[in-house]
Structures are given as structure tokens and as C-alpha cells.
Structure 1
Amino acid sequence: MYWTEIVGFVAGFGTTFAAVPDLIAMFRRQSSQGMNPTMAAIMGCFQIVWVYYGTLIASRPVIAWNMVAVVINFLTVGAYFYFAHREGKRA
């Protein structure tokens, strides 16, 4: 593994897991209150583009972290709609 890949993995870790605290907070509260799924949905969509870009340039860090981030962001969107439905909100 090259030094640049190590830096990429470290940077990817930080940006990928930046969304996790919101997801955890939503599960702890069992509520969608204060959450807006739009940003997570937009980020998830563009991270799919990043995964494609990573395959074009053969960058393992770009591919790996953005695949994880796609899952986290779409889990956030799914959790929002699940809790909003339970709360009787129109989402």
C-alpha cells in the first residue's frame, strides 16, 4: 500500500463517519424530530458518483469509504422516514 492510499484511508474515515452521530441520535431518540433527510439523500447520491470516480481512477480509498458513506447516508434517510411515519408526519 502506498503512502497516498494511507492518507486517503485516514481522510475517508473522518468524512465517512461524520454523519454517524446524527444517525445514532435519531435511533436513541426514536424520533425524526430535528432531522432533515435531504442532505443525507443528496450526499448519498453524490457518493455513488464518487464510487464510480474511484473505479475510474482505481483508487481503493475513494471506493471503500464512499461505499460505506452511501450506506450510512441512506440508512439515515430510511431511519428518518421510518420514524416520521411512526410519528404520523407527512414526509
Structure 2
Amino acid sequence: MEWTDVLGIVAGICTTVSVVPQIRKAWKTKKVDDVSPGMFATLMVGVGLWVIYGITQNDLPIIATNGASLALNSFMLYLMLRYRKKEK
């Protein structure tokens, strides 16, 4: 394995797990009013495009890390939709 592969995997892991503290907080507190659904939706489009790019390049680290990131961000978006306060 080349050092650039290791670099890509470590970078992908960092980006992927960056959302975990937000998911954990939302799960525990059931509060998501300060979280932007637009930001997560845009991020999901971006990582989805990275997955497609990784497939076209046959690059497993890009596919795996961005695929995991897409799943985690999708779950966060689900929590935002589930726990958001209804407008009065």
C-alpha cells in the first residue's frame, strides 16, 4: 500500500467520523433546532458525488469512506426530520 493510499484513507476516516459527535448529541438530547438541514443535504450531495467519482476511478478508499459518510449524514438528516419542532 502506497503512502498516498494511507493518506487518503486517514483523510476519509476523519471526514466520515466528523459527524458522529453531532449524531450522538442529537440522539441523546432529541434537539436539532440549531442544526442546518440544508448543510447536511448539500454535504450528502457532495459525498454522493465523491462515491460516483470513486466508482469511475475504481478507488476503493474514496468509495468506502464517502459511502460511510453518506450513510452517517443520511442518518443525521433523518434525526433532524424526526426531532425538529413543529411550527406553531
When normalised by structure 1's length, the TM-score is: 0.87
* Alpha-carbon separation, structure 2, partners of 1:48 and 1:88: 29
Say which SS state the counterpart of residue 18 (structure 2) adopts.
helix
RCO comparison, higher one (Cα < 8 Å, 6+): 2
Letter in 1 for 2:3: W
* Alpha-carbon separation, structure 1, partners of 2:7 and 2:60: 12
How far did 1:33 drift?
2.4
* Alpha-carbon separation, structure 2, partners of 1:46 and 1:17: 16
How far did 1:3 drift?
2.4
**Residue 17 (1) aligns with residue 22 (2):** no
How far did 1:89 drift?
3.7
CA displacement 1:22-53 (0-9 Å, x = unmatched): 11111111122211111111111111110010
CA contact (8 A) 1:5 1:60 kept: no
Where do 5+ consecutive residues of structure 1 fail to align? none
* Alpha-carbon separation, structure 1, partners of 2:31 and 2:48: 27
CA displacement 1:55-77 (0-9 Å, x = unmatched): 11111111100000001111111
Taking a change above 3 Å as real, the CA distance of residues 89 and 76 of structure 1, as seen in their structure-2 partners, is farther
Match of 1:82 in 2: 82
* Alpha-carbon separation, structure 2, partners of 1:89 and 1:18: 30
In the alignment of these two chains, the number of paired residues is 88
> What root-mean-square deviation, in Å, do the aligned CA atoms of Structure 1 and Structure 2 show?
1.5
Say which SS state the counterpart of residue 88 (structure 1) adopts.
coil
* Alpha-carbon separation, structure 2, partners of 1:35 and 1:4: 34
**Residue 3 (1) aligns with residue 3 (2):** yes
